[in-house]
Structure 1
Amino acid sequence: MTVSEGEAHGWRARWVGRENERRRTAYDAALQAWRRRDEELRQLYCAAEEPVRPAETPAGLPVRLDDDEVVLAVQPAAEIVEATARHTPDLPTAELTVVPVEDTRRSRRRSKGARVVDAGMAVVTDRRLIVVGRDEQQEWPYARLAGVAHHPEEPFTLLHPDGPGRIRGVWVPRAAASTFRLLLTVAYADATGARAALLDRLDDAVMAHWLDQPPTPSPATPADAPLTARLVRPALVAAVAVALAIAAVVSVVHGSVPDRPVIGMDVDRGTGVDPTDRGLPPSSTGLGTPARSAVPHTTGTTSGQLPGAAPVTAATTSAAPTPTADPSPAQPSPQPTETTSSPPAPSGTPSPTEVDRCGAPANPYGYNYCGGSYIYDPAPDVCTWFDCVENLWSGKGYLVQCKDGLISRTGMQRGPCSGHDGTRRPVYI
């Protein structure tokens, strides 16, 4: 990352060096985190393809198993958690996928929507999940579940019942969460005949993460250096601000009002805010930067006009004159100077620039195939703008595009694009 616009000298050169180093460090950290996540997702996909192997059953297991029931995993340290409400934004939704626990490097915390009710041992079999606690034994047969929901940041999984009732789940240590979640989800998928749909979801997750690579930062240039970087000591900026605030308070207390408004500080030999920009309301340009108002302004001023005063336009000169004090007889009244105004803005609004949606049809919601956030709550009239599958609203996840071009939704029993050649890519907003 080097300077690309001319040679920098002095304080601008020092700022460019510091800024480029900061951007490089931030990019390296983001790229390293992205690579770790990519490796985790690919390992999960490969492990989900392999057949599940029975675990070694420890002696004295306090669980009564059926004759042909197979133990897949035993987690000695586990806790039973219970959702405080069925619909809580802080809790994950049921979805047929495996979510690796993100390394947030925070101390262990509990979600506000879940509370611990018991602790004990968790046993995963090919038919059910069993947690033997101190006070009770809780079990979840896979055939009676509507889905599993893994929290992305905390190592617990909720198991949604197929019908009304309390939503409970199991918490395991963070170090064992990835393996435990994989075995539990694969066992649930095998018991419900959804192993192929699970692999499709994992493949979609790998592809979505691959398209979400951190962008390479552009190099800083001397023209980007802010004027505040010219100060040798950053504390001087705070001192100047405090001094100005004190001066303003003293002026108000003593009744001293300046004869014209303060536009800005001249800290770079005349570089400052254009006084003629006073009163011009900013307008959105679509790029997050305020734009100049389309109201025309004059290119000249009347003789004797203060620099901070409002510009004189043809409309103001045609209005009634403002009464002034009687001039001294020895002083002739100033002659008005001719003013010129820019031509009026053309009527009508220019058509907006066409937005690249990466193949998605035009729609008023900004839905696209390029990138962004998953759409878990699509608009009710989404099928007016997209071609949708018939059972779109039976899903509980986010919008995806099938390989035949139709729009579907994840969280369905047989997968989002079952019968439509598989899933192609997510729909973003």
Structure 2
Amino acid sequence: MTAEDGEARGWRARWVGRENERRRMAYEAALQAWRRRDEKLRQLYTEAEEPTQRAETPAGLPVQFDDDEIVLAVEPAAELVEVTARHTAGLPTATLTVVPLEDGSTPQLRGVSVVDAGTAVVTDRRLLIVGRDEQEEWPYAQVAGIAHHPGDPFTLLHAKRPGRIRGVRVPRAAASAFRLRLTVAYADATGAREALLDRLDDAAVDHWHDQPPAPTPATPADAPLTARLLRPALVTAVAVALAIAAVAGVVHGSLPDRPVIGMKVDGGTGVEPTGPGVPSASTALGAPGSSTTPSATGTTSDPPPGATPGTAAPTSAAPTSATTTSATTTPATGGPRNPPSSPRATGTPAPTSPSPTPADRCGAPANPYGYNYCGGSYVYDPASDVCDYFACVNNLWNGNGYLVQCEDGLTSRTGMKGGGCAEHGGLKRPIYAA
């Protein structure tokens, strides 16, 4: 499909514009998120290189500090958490690094419960939490590893002694600085400061190589056929047409349960209407034993239900000079129906389908049902004689779905095995009912 093609300048060109804009916005959002994380990793590395700084010791803490113990961080809104899950799947693993919180992640404590709340204090020797009910302490010499959760601002401390795994949870805004100071203090106490810097540097380099690639521009050849329905007015029209088709299908499926006009209902005395071009109710429903052989006078030979044999059958208010003939019965099952080839005995032939209406069919053959290539509703329940007007595939009635035209010009349905036009060059366009 070239840019000079008429369709490429129409709906395909509009789809290309929308798709390229969508790809551009998605790329810019991903690039912004990548840049924010890159800045966080570089900032963590820079701060980890700086010498350890003493923090102001909060007043009023019921904690006894050593004379040479350095307080590095104090978080008054901390929580003591404990692992309650029987399996640690989904929980962070212990590693000597600092993980920035992921952008857009929703904090969710899964497998971890809050035990107490209070103040968390990070020193150069230990981490301790002074809660309302209890006080927890982790000397770094007794800690096997520190595990930061990537999406939730809590950190687990794996102790060397047996027991439940516990940790600390801080507000999201303070998580980055608190994690860095805790990890640096633990690395200094265990002699792993250089190893921590190497891990942070590797994380920054790996993230640099994960830069999102620029999107590939869309072309008219990439436009799907469904893009033709993206205009709001057309979408509304198709939605209304599909709703009407669904209602019509329900009504058609319940036809045997509804009385036909003129039939006796609940013991009534109504009779079937007669006249030129009006098939009898028994003929239309395909009732066994019904007879439609025309008589010499142009009326049916069988009396209506309930009439006494030997009496004249009541007729409708049609003119007495008009002659009537029976209507050709329509097969109840699928399959093309051949039009009658023998001439009628008397009178004019009774039409069995609506007459064609003069309308623009966009190249579709003339037919009495208004089927066209222009637009309208999909044809899920085609007329039984549709193949008298359209060139159909041999197995048209073996599938379901709506009518379509294949690339080779034959008419098929979308619900065929292997695809409606799989063996006929592919789908060309749908067939609509006006």
Match of 1:135 among 128, 133, 136: 133
Q: Distance in 1 between matches of 2:130 and 2:401?
A: 72
Alpha-carbon RMSD = 3.2
1:18 and 2:14 matched: no
Cross-structure match for 2:30: 30
Cross-structure match for 2:186: 188
Contact 1:264 1:272 in 2 (8 A): no
Contact 2:407 2:424 in 1 (8 A): no
Distance 1:269 1:187, change over 3 A: same
Contact 2:403 2:413 in 1 (8 A): no
Q: Secondary structure, in 3 states, of the residue corresponding to 2:51? A: coil
Contact 1:264 1:273 in 2 (8 A): no
Q: Distance in 2 between matches of 1:271 and 1:68?
A: 92
Question: Which whole-Å deviations, capped at 9, do the CAs of 1:166-209 have from their partners, x for residues lacking one?
Answer: 11111111111000000001111111122222122212211221
Taking only the aligned residue pairs, the percentage that are identical comes to 64
Contact 1:228 1:237 in 2 (8 A): no
Q: Distance in 1 between matches of 2:56 and 2:414?
A: 80
Q: Secondary structure, in 3 states, of the residue corresponding to 2:64? A: coil
Question: Which whole-Å deviations, capped at 9, do the CAs of 1:124-181 have from their partners, x for residues lacking one?
Answer: 0011001100111111111111111111111111111114211111111111100000
Question: Which whole-Å deviations, capped at 9, do the CAs of 1:205-248 have from their partners, x for residues lacking one?
Answer: 11221121112111111111222222333334444444454455
1:50 and 2:53 matched: no
1:65 and 2:65 matched: yes
Question: Which whole-Å deviations, capped at 9, do the CAs of 1:324-379 have from their partners, x for residues lacking one?
Answer: xxxxxxxxxxxxxxxxxxxxxxxxxxxxxxxxxxxxxxxxxxxxxxxxxxxxxxxx
Give the aligned residue type for 2:70. Answer: V
Contact 1:86 1:167 in 2 (8 A): no
| Residue 32 (structure 1) shift | 0.5
TM-score (norm 1): 0.58
| Residue 264 (structure 1) shift | 5.5
Cross-structure match for 1:160: 158
Give the aligned residue type for 1:41. Answer: L
| Residue 14 (structure 1) shift | 1.4
Cross-structure match for 2:285: none
Q: Distance in 2 between matches of 1:274 and 1:91?
A: 55
Distance 1:57 1:276, change over 3 A: closer
Distance 1:41 1:236, change over 3 A: farther
Cross-structure match for 1:208: 206
The alignment of Structure 1 onto Structure 2 pairs a total of residues equal to 281
Cross-structure match for 2:93: 93
Question: Which whole-Å deviations, capped at 9, do the CAs of 1:261-294 have from their partners, x for residues lacking one?
Answer: 246654899899998996459xxxxxxxxxx9xx
Cross-structure match for 1:120: 118
Q: Distance in 1 between matches of 2:49 and 2:221?
A: 53
| Residue 68 (structure 1) shift | 1.8
Q: Secondary structure, in 3 states, of the residue corresponding to 1:160? A: strand
Q: Distance in 2 between matches of 1:271 and 1:65?
A: 90
Question: Which whole-Å deviations, capped at 9, do the CAs of 1:286-337 have from their partners, x for residues lacking one?
Answer: xxxxxx9xxxx899xxxxxxxxxxxxxxxxxxxxxxxxxxxxxxxxxxxxxx
Distance 1:227 1:57, change over 3 A: same
1:235 and 2:233 matched: no
| Residue 81 (structure 1) shift | 0.9
Distance 1:222 1:192, change over 3 A: same
1:170 and 2:149 matched: no
Distance 1:148 1:273, change over 3 A: farther
Q: Distance in 2 between matches of 1:218 and 1:21?
A: 12
Contact 1:72 1:126 in 2 (8 A): yes
Contact 2:405 2:411 in 1 (8 A): no
Give the aligned residue type for 1:113. Answer: G
Cross-structure match for 1:76: 76
| Residue 114 (structure 1) shift | 1.0
Cross-structure match for 1:373: none
Return 5+ residue gaps in structure 1 as ranges.
282-291, 300-429
Cross-structure match for 2:149: 151
Give the aligned residue type for 1:45. Answer: Y
Give the aligned residue type for 1:42. Answer: R
Q: Distance in 1 between matches of 2:194 and 2:144?
A: 17
Q: Secondary structure, in 3 states, of the residue corresponding to 1:73? A: strand
Q: Distance in 2 between matches of 1:119 and 1:272?
A: 75
Give the aligned residue type for 1:103. Answer: D
Q: Distance in 2 between matches of 1:267 and 1:128?
A: 77
Give runs of aligned pairs for residues 268-283 of structure 1, distance below 5 A: 279-280=417-418
For the pair shown, the structure with the greater C-alpha radius of gyration is: 2
Q: Secondary structure, in 3 states, of the residue corresponding to 2:117? A: strand
Q: Distance in 2 between matches of 1:190 and 1:273?
A: 78
Distance 1:55 1:265, change over 3 A: farther
Cross-structure match for 1:219: 217
Q: Distance in 2 between matches of 1:5 and 1:127?
A: 70
| Larger mean Cα displacement after TM superposition, 37-46 or 224-233 | 224-233
Distance 1:58 1:262, change over 3 A: same
Give the aligned residue type for 2:154. Answer: F
Q: Distance in 2 between matches of 1:68 and 1:242?
A: 80
Contact 2:158 2:165 in 1 (8 A): yes
